[in-house]
A and B are shown apart, each in its own frame.
Chain A
Amino acid sequence: MSVSGNVFRYPEEIRDDFLQTADIQFRDGSKASPAEVWHYLTEIGPKKYPHIYDYSNYYGRKISGDVTLPFSLKHNYLIMTMDERMTKAKQNGIPVVFVQGGQSVDPYYAAGAIALRPASVGIWASCQHEGLNLNQEEVRRANQKEKAYRAISFEVCQSAGYENIQEGTVPVDMIAPYSCLRCSDVSYGLEAHRHGKRKDVKLFLADYPLDHQKDKEWAITYFAENIRRLIESIDELTGGKTTAEDLRKEIKLHNEGRRLAMEIADLWWSAEVPPTNGKDRRDLFQMGGMELHGDPEASLSLLREAKGYIAERVKKGQKGFGVSDNPVRIFVCGSCVFPNEYRIEEVGGIVVGNDNHWSDITTIVEEDGDPFYNLAKAVLSYPYEQSIKERAKWTVEQIKRSRADGVLFLYNWGCNTQSAVARALVDEIKRESGVPTLIIEHEQQGTQSEQLQNRVNAFVEMLK
């Protein structure tokens, strides 16, 4: 890698090897060759999005310096081209649906829509502003957020793209989250759109039943009906008629992504030394949710390619870029937020796993039988949405598999439902695994606060 004046550049010496790698396959049948990706990352990207190339460790989303991992470069390409790709999809009549609730996105894609989570909508909105440095981008984002706080409440833990959708910055057609236990803001944030100025955005809530939901036939049936209605609502946008077979086919595709992510996780966790840094690990594992790039086929093509590279590194005992020798392994639990992995690596730690989203990726959907019922049952089985003891039991399994030395429970400021169980969950984890734990409240994303970092650093130091 090459860094000049804190600005990252992809080094020319990796170019030839990168050009030998696979194309990115898109859902619409098109492809992006490695040459196109390389051109974008080295010529177009730095001019359009200087802030993404800011190489300060204080920027938690900075480009990973692990330049010999092709999936990492391609992931960055997919992030930077979000606006172009979404604009193209919209021009082709594909509706974009805003989703939340930590669920798999199978039904949205089965119905012919694109499902985007808050982070992706934020990236899309961000990519519409060219030429901003990191500071300018942070100010822009903060300004946008203020609009949401004024329209809803300053106590929203994160505004879930309200500002971008209501301002019309991103032409989302529908907002259709799941009302999981994980987050109370999902339901009320969705409801807040009813008083927004955009009246053309369709609103839908997939109602996620609570309390031993996976063991109650009536809860599964009810949730299956929610999925059916969700698909019908998307059909009204596309003018199509999604069949059970369409959903089954989509489930199979997404199961492949979920399985690949789990296989990669097993490889990663089995390695003596971490084969990637924490940021690349997070992106890679999360690709199994098939929602990160707004194109499941694109995510799948990256996963397929990544598996070989990870296996190779594990075999060779090759360490990820920026990872210290014998790092303290941290498992992250809690809300939909992350610590700055680069700062943790600076002090000799590494994040090896997390519960949020991983919970849905590790849940394979039954492929035979009624796909609505199967999907409902799987979604209601997500470990993250279960009782304290059940969730802790699953988390302890992940902690053991990832050989974590400590658990960091992070929750967003204002996150009622994750903060509520933070202590109980870590108490249970500690009791069952003996692993030390730390609970931290997380401020808004972006450049990370020093206060939070000091506490994380002290925790890592203690575990050394």
Chain B
Amino acid sequence: MALKTLEIIKKRLEERPKEIEKARREGQKVVGWQGYNIPEEIIYALGLIPVRIGVGGDDRMVEIGARYISTKNCVFVRETVGLFAENNDPYVQNTDILAFDATCLQTYRTAEIIQYYFNKEVLILGVPRNFYWPEAKVYFTKEVEYFTRRLEKQAGKKLNYQILADTIGLYDRIRNAIVTIYTYQAAAGNYLSWEETYDLIHAGYYLDRREYLSLLEQVLAELREKQGQPFIEAVEGEARIFLSGSVLPPGDKKLIKIIQEVGGRIVGDDLWSGLIPYLDVKIPENSLQGLAVGYLNRTPHGALPYLDLDTDRRIKRLKELIQTFKAQGVIYHTLRYCDPYTFKAKETKDILQKEGIPLLEIHTEYAGSDFEAIRTRVEAFVEMLKNRYDEEVAV
């Protein structure tokens, strides 16, 4: 049975576009952002309304976007452009300023295209690819400072560092709450599914962040009451699946539905539209430099190349999360033309194979034409995982 708070969140999400519209009429500005390394805390601390833009799963919108950007770009990027071309999405309609980071080159290109064709004010945050160098941290700090100066102009005021400190505290609590909720969804006797958790994360893209924290805390309170202390273990008959790879934005439920329909249970992910942005965030000081360093030190996004396999923190984190959530197999989702993750599919499979963890790559788009083909493959994978569990128990 769904948690009561989820119903409240659903209702609040329905009301949110009108609220934002009203706030804009009263003079507040909305920053629509996309990326992995944008410190949202700065936007919020300046009194601007942050909204994380971009949805998935709508092939029609992909086609519209492809009129401006290319068919050789991933569907997420194309759909984002499509949203601006059609201009029906309430969040897109109510965006005053756009902020994109340069983590993924296609996201950067999306920003260029939106700026060129739809005359939007776009701020870009440069992101270093040699992110582990001390010089890269200096560069990124300067970028964050420059980004802030431009946001200050939009906000019409200077950043107040006390407010920034409070905001960092608020966001830390949000991050902690999400990480804890993930433990509950993966536990035995769970009252919250991974899909609901995923939707919960996406609710945070739109709701006011203070309210969002309060709702997350309500969810946690409900979970504590119903579920008690979460205990993660593999249960007989389960095929516990970990999702990795390309972005699964709000609205892109094709793969999720298939996994669930064929009897798989998703128990965790390291997606940048999922858990990973909330992990390992340690802001060393309440300053722009602290934010820059804290963001850069997180588990890196797959779009940032790392040249030494043995010390790759992304791979290390993936292995840890698979263990934490007691996943039995990985479905590695790659969107066509998503180079950062597609190029790593075989490598990831080889690495996990050494650990005895099977990986199935699903390479897809938003079109429904491959639905049955994916279902057949996922079904076989789920069946294999269930058989493996039985065999292991028998041994």
Contacts and interface: CB of A to CB of B under 8 A. Distances in A.
A211 B106 contact: no
Contacts of A194: 306-309, 347
Contacts of A153: 339, 342-343, 345-346
A385 to B, nearest CB: 12
Interface string A206-224: 0111110100101101100
Given A191-B343, A218-B139, A421 B305 contact: no
A225 B135 CA distance: 8
A219 B128 CA distance: 10
Interface in A163-181: 179, 181
Contact of A152 (B67, B74, B110, B343): B343
Interface in B100-134: 102, 105-106, 108-110, 112-113, 116-117, 124, 126, 128-130, 133
B143 interface: yes
B360 interface: no
A231 to B, nearest CB: 15
B138 A420 contact: no
B278 interface: no
B285 to A, nearest CB: 20
Contacts of B340: 184, 188
Interface residues of B, number: 49
A216 B105 CA distance: 19
B347 A192 contact: yes
A417 B337 CA distance: 11
Candidate in B116, B143, B345, B347 with the most chain A CB atoms within 10 angstroms: B116
Contacts of A179: 129, 305
A414 B74 CA distance: 10
A209 B126 contact: yes
Interface in B325-350: 336-337, 339-340, 342-347, 350
Interface string A386-426: 01110000000000000000000001011111011111100
Nearest to B143: A218
Given A188-B343, A210-B102, A411-B72, A416 B307 contact: no
Contacts of B345: 153
Contacts of A420: 69-70, 72-73, 77, 106, 109-110, 112-113
A230 to B, nearest CB: 11
B68 interface: yes
B128 A181 contact: no
A298 to B, nearest CB: 32
A388 B136 contact: no
B105 A417 contact: yes
B191 interface: no
Given A155-B337, A155-B342, A420-B73, A222 B135 contact: yes
Interface in B171-194: none
A424 B126 contact: no
A152 B106 contact: no
B138 A222 contact: yes
Contacts of B351: 195
B337 A218 contact: no
A412 to B, nearest CB: 9
Interface string A137-172: 000000000000011110110000000000000000
Contacts of A210: 102, 108, 124, 126
Nearest to B106: A416
Interface in A109-132: none
B12 interface: no
A198 B96 CA distance: 50
A415 B106 CA distance: 11
Given A213-B126, A416-B106, A421-B112, 13 more contacts: A184-B106, A188-B305, A190-B307, A191-B307, A191-B344, A194-B307, A195-B350, A204-B307, A210-B108, A210-B126, A218-B142, A416-B337, A420-B77
16 contacts: A179-B129, A181-B105, A188-B339, A189-B343, A191-B306, A191-B307, A192-B347, A205-B129, A205-B130, A211-B126, A222-B128, A413-B72, A419-B72, A420-B69, A420-B72, A421-B113
9 A-B pairs with least C-beta separation: A419-B70, A218-B142, A420-B109, A222-B139, A191-B305, A419-B72, A188-B343, A211-B124, A187-B305
